[in-house]
Amino acid sequence: MAETIKKDGGLPEDLLITILMALPAKCLVRFRSVSKYWNSLITSAEFISIHLAQAKPLLLFHHHNQSYSLRLDNESLDMWSNLEFELPSKREDDDFQIIGTCNGVICLLNSRQDHGHSIILWNPSIGKSLNLVLPRLSDPFRGIFGFGFNRQSNDYKFVRVATPHYPVGCQVYSVKERSWKAIDVSPALGYMNPIPSVLWGRSSSYNYAFLNGVLHWLVDREEFGSRFVLSFDLRNDSFGKMMLSPYLASKLDEWMAILVSDNSVSLFLNDLDTKYIEIWALKKYDAMKLWARKLRIKAVGIGLAMVCRKNGEILMTRYPSDEVVSCDPQRKEIHDLQNLGLSDYADCYVESLALLDELKEENEKENVETAHSATFAISSPNALIRQA
């Protein structure tokens, strides 16, 4: 980094970078005004990436009173800060729901249909947001959604797979290219639906797992009455699928959700008949991928599995109260967390400079994509097709 950015005097460059790397994102945003050199340094993709790698791990919670809080991912889950969603375009009757987070960027869906079916990518730490208008479909909210980061191309992508349609439609938004792209979906996937899950007050369309550049959803194959994991690789914009084990495939009437646990794509199963909850992880054995059960524990009154903490414990909610509990897979114990109140959503979070390099022009206008008035046709996996 030191070789690629011109110096402008002052502190030795190595010392300056060391000092700046230790500062929180909000301070660094203000320090861009010190000089052109500081601005160039702080908004460089390399600086943003290294700063992100050493960010303090946090947990984001949505509470029943419609407030949001950040807590340290430590033993006692100490309070870090309250998070205010002060978006420039926000109106009193907007209804935002979190689809997911990635590298400190929060992906929000405005579910008010008369407000343009908008998606907002927002980084509260830098006070910047990107407003995307979903391409028109017969029903903009039928389908599955995902948001993630392609490390190879340094690009954030939002993905929507429209279901039930045949052939299945897919649109991908690239922040780096500032454009939508239509993706061909193999007809072999058939008609799909997001499965009903234990996400009370939250659409199962938003339940996905993002790991190593790949989005994963748990979906139904309607004509066969079966479930499988649908994947989408952000590196090459390609789909894949992973069938469930015969045991998991037989649990069609039970509550299931997908999440990342212990650096593996995992399934949460809440068996209403036996009153057991189970966690199954997708493991690789030689060239094969198999489902391995890592937890089975008696748990009456458990509802939603929300997020896996860095210590391996899984935060869940009680049903129907939404009190937050923590499940320790090693000890096979569940204990209450009285200090968290009632929450229906939790996810890993970091305060970062993400999107700063994409939105670094101070006078750049809010990017509002005009795809709302466009029609998308599907022809090839890599074709961007926008017709007026």
Instruction: Give the C-alpha separation, 302 to 198, whole Å.
Output: 10
In contact, 294 and 303? CB cutoff 8 Å: no
Q: Is 346 exposed, middle or buried (0-12, 13-18, 19+ CB in 10 A)?
A: buried
The full set of domain ranges for the chain reads 14-54, 55-350
Give Cβ neighbours of residue 295 (< 8 Å, ≥ 6 apart).
Answer: 277, 278, 279, 327, 329, 332
Instruction: Give the C-alpha separation, 316 to 233, whole Å.
Output: 28
Q: Is 113 exposed, middle or buried (0-12, 13-18, 19+ CB in 10 A)?
A: exposed
pTM: 0.84
Q: Is 293 exposed, middle or buried (0-12, 13-18, 19+ CB in 10 A)?
A: middle
Handedness of CA 325, 334, 198, 234 (dihedral sign): positive
pLDDT in tens, the chain (388 residues): 544 444 555 778 889 999 999 999 999 999 999 999 999 999 999 999 999 999 999 999 988 777 889 999 998 999 998 877 666 556 666 677 889 999 999 998 876 655 456 788 999 899 888 888 777 654 555 678 999 999 999 999 999 887 655 556 788 999 999 999 988 776 656 556 665 443 334 445 578 999 999 999 988 766 556 778 989 999 999 988 888 998 998 887 778 889 999 999 999 998 878 889 999 999 987 778 899 999 999 988 888 789 999 999 999 988 888 899 999 999 999 998 888 878 888 999 999 999 987 765 443 443 333 333 332 222 222 222 222 2
Residue 256, CB half-sphere, CA atoms under 13 Å: how many?
Answer: 24
Give the domain 55-350 fold. Answer: Neuraminidase (2.120.10)
Instruction: Give the C-alpha separation, 109 to 132, whole Å.
Output: 10
